[in-house]
Chains A and B, each alone.
Chain A
């Protein structure tokens, strides 16, 4: 079967750095997405990786290792507004997104 694993919840301090990990086992791989979802709202796109390595976009970076079935989302200079759930999703061989359950990130002052 297909499986995406992420930690259920993480806590970090305002101004700090946090890394959210995602491991996957899917039938095929055509890219990995990270989305942010604030409570009660819709998911919004953060990043896309299809090749190994690090993609940096402002305070957010995403890393992919296809051989290890592993990705992480790195958030720097954390702000209170970064409190949200972070969803990892893999595009499988049928070009359908398989979603992890999400990591709830709690930011403390």
Chain B
């Protein structure tokens, strides 16, 4: 069982380019989340999905979009990357909304 996988592991991106970070879970969890983690700051929620077909905005949604077409996949898209989006991005999932969250290995994104 893989749990949660993320791709790519790392990426260097030119400002203004479009980028999709992929996240897949095989635990049949209902809820999924995207966070960014920056040095000295706590994890910040970008977008979430409580169940397939629904999504919601977190604390820092601007510049990002998500979709949840099925239970397993929750891609995060940066429409036009900016340097302030340089960060480590973690995808997570939980069986229920208030439950323990399981994290993917992260994607290290650098926007130049």
Contact = CB atoms under 8 A, between A and B. Distances in A.
19 contacts: A4-B42, A30-B98, A31-B98, A41-B106, A42-B90, A42-B103, A42-B104, A42-B106, A43-B103, A45-B100, A48-B100, A91-B98, A96-B59, A97-B43, A97-B101, A98-B42, A99-B43, A99-B44, A100-B42
Contacts of A87: 42-43
Interface of B: 35, 40-45, 48, 58-59, 90, 97-98, 100-106
A96 B58 contact: yes
B104 A101 contact: no
A101 B41 contact: yes
Interface of A: 4, 30-31, 33, 41-45, 48, 87, 89, 91, 95-102
B47 to A, nearest CB: 11
Contacts of A96: 45, 48, 58-59
Closest 6 A/B residue pairs (Cβ) = A99-B42, A42-B103, A99-B43, A45-B100, A101-B42, A95-B97
Contacts of A41: 105-106
